[in-house]
């Protein structure tokens, strides 16, 4: 159990299975393509290349980008990039954003995005050796020969496309997770947030701001790795598909995001949002503070089962819910399923069953 007192929530340890590599089988087509920088620029303008919002912002300094451009001009090798080909045949960048955007910026003549005043910095090759013939030059300052050289330089792309299963396109999550090894790796929910982009992400973020929810977590600061948002996703998944749960939990949550990955919010999401707000209000008013911190840290298994059952029955929560809650959390069978082997399918289904029997029936 770990906690950064300013940014992370203390959560009771669950079985290591949830943190280990997930075994999921996909039929994946992988093939290379050698693209000239002029073609990459054209694809960018036509929106055939997209930077998914799960990627961090462009962070390179102008010197790093300048050295990359010089490498192309000198014919030096440059690392390949990875594209994920989605169902609309768009090339989603899952590795190589800094290289691709450096090329785009140089060919356009401006570095980075607009500042607060709506201005962009002119892209002059910076930080090169004083003896370099390219030092301080913009693209338009290069000779015609060098302009053709840079536009004709090749950047290899590895293209990845999922062929099967057709109804479970979560491979992009696993591919990005394995490529995501440099710097400070993103955590699972950070990756999910916009790989499975859509209104669901916005709704989860909004629910994470719910004052009653923050009280239940006993944490005002938002978790820097989106662990609190993942908890809401887990509750949503258990509310909608708990009876069909299969381990590992990580893939179960990926599938939940995929099911609701669309441009329009589904009625089931709206129903969950409404029920979530109702239930967090009831829990804050009727139960003891920090109700899911059953033996110290927050117990996710207790939270997912109790909140899922209450949300499913948000219109008929008994008035004696506090007594029922106490009886449930003191029940020996229930405690077994929230403390041991909590990610096993049998444990998930049993604790949901016991929660419904004690809290609603």
Residue 49 has pLDDT above 50, yes or no: yes
Please, what's the b/e burial string for 218-235 (b: 16 or more CB within 10 A of its CB; e: otherwise)? Answer: ebeebbebbbbbbbbbbb
> Which range among 24-33, 170-179, 199-208, 312-321 shows the weakest confidence by mean pLDDT?
170-179
Cβ-contact 198, 266 below 8 angstroms:
no
Supply the mean pLDDT for the chain.
88
pLDDT class of 196 with cuts at 50, 70, 90: confident
Asked if residue 55 has pLDDT above 70, the reply is no
Q: pTM of the predicted model, to two decimals?
A: 0.67
Task: Please list the residues that pair with 49 across neighbouring strands.
Answer: 91
Peptide bond between residue 248 and the one before it cis (omega within 30 degrees of 0): yes
pLDDT-derived band at 180 (thresholds 50, 70, 90) equals low
Q: Above 80 in pLDDT, residue 237? A: yes
Least confident stretch, 6-10, 186-190, 226-230? 6-10
H/E element, 36: strand 27-36
Q: Are 236 and 272 in contact (CB under 8 A)?
A: yes
Provide DSSP, 296-331. Answer: SSB-HHHHHHHHHHHHHTTT---TTHHHHHHHHHT-
The per-residue pLDDT for 185 is 66
Q: Is the pLDDT of residue 23 over 70?
A: no
Give 220 or 2, the one with higher predicted confidence.
220
Angle formed by the axes of helices 227-241 and 199-207, nearest 10°: 110
| pLDDT band at residue 161 under the 50/70/90 scheme | confident
Closest to 212 (Cα-Cα) out of 158, 143, 283 = 283
Tokens, residue 45: 């303008």
Asked if the model's pLDDT at residue 300 lies above 80, the reply is yes
Distance CA 31, CA 323 (A): 60
Residue-level pLDDT at 197:
65
Least confident interval from 133-137, 164-168, 275-279: 164-168
DSSP assignment of 197-261: -SHHHHHHHHHTT-HHHHHHHT--SPPTTSHHHHHHHHHHHHHHHGGG--S-HHHHHHHHHHHT-
Kindly tell me if the per-residue pLDDT of 5 is higher than 70.
no
Percent of the chain with pLDDT over 70: 87
Q: For residues 135-162, give the mean pLDDT.
A: 95
The answer to whether 109 touches 140, Cβ cutoff 8 Å, is: yes
Phi, psi of 227 (to 5 degrees): -65, -35
Q: pLDDT by residue (tens digit) across 109-124?
A: 999 988 878 889 999 9
Residue 61: band (very low, low, confident or very high) from pLDDT cuts 50, 70, 90: very high
Alpha helices in 13-170 (DSSP H): 37-45, 62-74, 97-108, 144-152
Q: What is the per-residue pLDDT across 320-346, written as a single tens digit (0 to 9) for each?
A: 999 999 999 999 999 999 999 999 999
Which comes out higher in pLDDT, residue 353 or 160?
353
Domain edges within the chain: 28-164, 186-360
pLDDT at 160 over 90: no
Tokens of 328: 């449930």
- Give the model's pLDDT for residue 184: 56
**Does pLDDT of 34 surpass 80?**
yes
Q: What is the mean pLDDT of residues 248-255?
A: 93
Three-state DSSP at 78 gives coil
DSSP 135-200: TT--GGGS-HHHHHHHHH-EEEEEEEEEEE-TT---HHHHHHHHH--SSSPPPHHHHHHHHT-SHH
Confidence of residue 86 (pLDDT cuts 50, 70, 90): confident
Q: Work out the pLDDT band at 10, boundaries 50, 70, 90.
A: confident
252 pLDDT more than 50: yes
The pLDDT of 33-60, averaged and rounded, is 88
């Amino acid at each position: 159990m770990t906690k950064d007192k300013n940014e992370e929530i203390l959560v009771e340890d669950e079985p290591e299975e949830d943190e280990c590599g997930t075994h999921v089988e996909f039929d994946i087509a992988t093939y290379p393509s050698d693209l000239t920088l002029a073609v990459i620029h054209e694809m960018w303008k036509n929106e055939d290349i997209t930077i998914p919002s799960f990627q961090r912002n462009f962070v390179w300094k102008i010197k790093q980008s300048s050295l990359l451009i010089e490498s192309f001009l000198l014919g030096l090798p440059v690392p390949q990039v990875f594209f994920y080909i989605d169902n609309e045949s768009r090339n989603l960048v899952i590795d190589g954003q800094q290289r691709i955007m450096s090329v785009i910026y140089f060919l356009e003549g401006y570095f980075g995005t607009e500042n607060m005043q709506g201005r962009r910095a002119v892209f002059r090759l910076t930080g090169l050796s004083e003896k370099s013939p390219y030092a301080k030059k913009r693209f338009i300052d290069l000779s015609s020969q060098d302009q053709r050289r840079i536009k004709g330089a090749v950047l290899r792309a590895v293209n990845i496309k999922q062929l099967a299963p057709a109804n479970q396109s979560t491979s992009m999550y696993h591919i990005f997770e394995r490529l995501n090894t440099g710097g400070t790796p993103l955590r699972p929910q950070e990756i999910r947030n916009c790989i499975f982009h859509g209104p669901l992400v916005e709704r989860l973020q909004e629910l994470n701001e719910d004052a009653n929810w923050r009280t239940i977590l006993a944490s005002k600061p938002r978790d820097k790795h989106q662990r609190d948002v993942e908890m809401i996703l887990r509750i949503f998944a258990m509310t909608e598909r708990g009876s069909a749960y299969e381990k590992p939990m990580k893939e179960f949550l990926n599938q939940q995001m995929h099911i609701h990955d669309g441009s329009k919010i589904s009625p089931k999401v709206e129903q969950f949002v409404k029920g979530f707000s109702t239930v967090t209000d009831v829990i804050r008013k009727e139960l003891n503070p920090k109700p899911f911190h059953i033996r110290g840290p927050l117990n996710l298994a207790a939270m997912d089962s109790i909140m899922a059952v209450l949300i499913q029955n948000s219109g008929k929560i008994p008035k004696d819910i506090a007594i029922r809650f106490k009886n449930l959390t003191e029940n020996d069978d229930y405690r077994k399923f929230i403390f041991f082997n909590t990610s096993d399918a049998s444990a998930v289904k049993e604790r949901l069953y016991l929660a419904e029997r004690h809290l609603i029936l």
